[in-house]
Structure 1
Amino acid sequence: MNDSRMVVIQGDITRLTVDAIVNAANSSLLGGGGVDGAIHRAAGPELLAECRRLGGCLPGEAKVTAGYALSAKWVIHTVGPVWTGAPHDDSMLAACYTSAIGLARRLPARTLAFPAISTGAYRFPKDRAARIAVETVAQALAGDTFFQSVQFCCFDQESADLHLRALAEL
């Protein structure tokens, strides 16, 4: 069940022209390292000001802000799990994708891009995270005609290859 609307690219998520990009944020939503820091830098100081008003975000949930200086109209912030190896890590990561997709539908954002959530500083195994991401998005898109495209924007080739493999295994 490989949905042609799901694509894998390697690149900088802050440069994509989509309706919404997803930010792998920390629970404060006030910026950090990795993709979170890159999105905050690229969007400009207005993003931080809006995030301050949101009161943080719990793991597995999602909140939205404007995109400001980004090409994307919106940024959907989600907080992934820090990898512990516990059984709930997988379901918490899947909840990030499900929450972001649900929020994108309500915006409405018909084109959406995800980074590889929790695979940087939060140490989620990249192969496992790619499989969860692809399977969760595929389930959300099944029988759905709302979304035009969902991109998995991977920072490095290794992550892109893992997402491509997960897509091929669907």
Structure 2
Amino acid sequence: MEITLVQGDITEQRVDAIVNAANSSLMGGGGVDGAIHRRGGPEILKECRALRASRYGGGLPTGQAVATTAGLLPARWVIHTVGPVYAESQDRSALLASCYAESLKVADELGARVVAFPAVSAGIYGWPMDDAARIALSTVRDAATDVEQARFVLFGPDAYTTFQATLDRLTQA
């Protein structure tokens, strides 16, 4: 699988699926989640409400993933995943890795070939960017998937630089 990095706005990516760093309620929020819901329009929220009324009455569990329409976004689907909140006192890296692995499984079920990822948990959830990049890139690189391109869409120059340095280290290893 090809892994690419771009600095930009994930809601502008013309891909098969956009991964949303969602909160467990699936009802939108801040950061990437809020941007996806605002730009994607009411169809995303409508499907999220249906998911909450059926399979995910208590919310989407951390590390899991589920798909909805992409609404008005230039993608076919949004894959919602709930990242863990960072805590120095507890190793939650397996949950963060699960966000990427489960998102790829959902992408495979959908037949998505190009998937755009944000830096899950590296914003308001406080995950250190260098560790978030290592977990994200190594998990995606090592996944057994039919996805042909994983595109990491990083909002600012610091995130992009960190992901690029991490990708360089992983490809040299």
| TM-score, with length taken from structure 2 | 0.92
The CA deviation string for residues 13-32 of structure 1, in whole angstroms up to 9 with x for no partner, is 00000000000000000000
Match of 1:52 in 2: 49
Indicate the SS of the match to 2:51. Answer: coil
Change (3 A) 1:84 1:96: same
Indicate the SS of the match to 1:94. Answer: helix
TM-superposed CA distance for 1:53, in Å, is 1.1
Between the aligned partners of 2:32 and 2:112, the Cα distance in structure 1 is 20
Q: Counterpart of 1:31 in structure 2: which amino acid?
A: G
Between the aligned partners of 2:7 and 2:104, the Cα distance in structure 1 is 21
TM-superposed CA distance for 1:45, in Å, is 1.1
Deviating above 3 A after TM superposition, structure 1's stretches of 4 or more consecutive aligned residues are: none
Between the aligned partners of 1:100 and 1:44, the Cα distance in structure 2 is 22
Indicate the SS of the match to 2:86. Answer: coil
Is 1:152 aligned to residue 155 of structure 2? no
TM-superposed CA distance for 1:154, in Å, is 0.3
Unaligned runs of 5+ in 1: none
Between the aligned partners of 2:103 and 2:68, the Cα distance in structure 1 is 12
TM-superposed CA distance for 1:87, in Å, is 4.3
Indicate the SS of the match to 2:29. Answer: coil
TM-superposed CA distance for 1:147, in Å, is 2.1
Indicate the SS of the match to 2:79. Answer: strand
TM-superposed CA distance for 1:165, in Å, is 1.0
How well do the aligned residues superpose, as a CA RMSD in angstroms? 1.1
Match of 1:79 in 2: 82
Indicate the SS of the match to 2:87. Answer: coil
Between the aligned partners of 1:59 and 1:147, the Cα distance in structure 2 is 22
Residues 1-170 of structure 1 aligned to structure 2 (within 5 Å): 5-55=2-52, 56-140=59-143, 146-170=146-170
The farther-off stretch of 83-92 and 150-159 is 83-92
- Once the two structures are aligned, what percentage of the paired residues are identical? 49
Q: How many residues align?
A: 164
Unaligned runs of 5+ in 2: 53-58
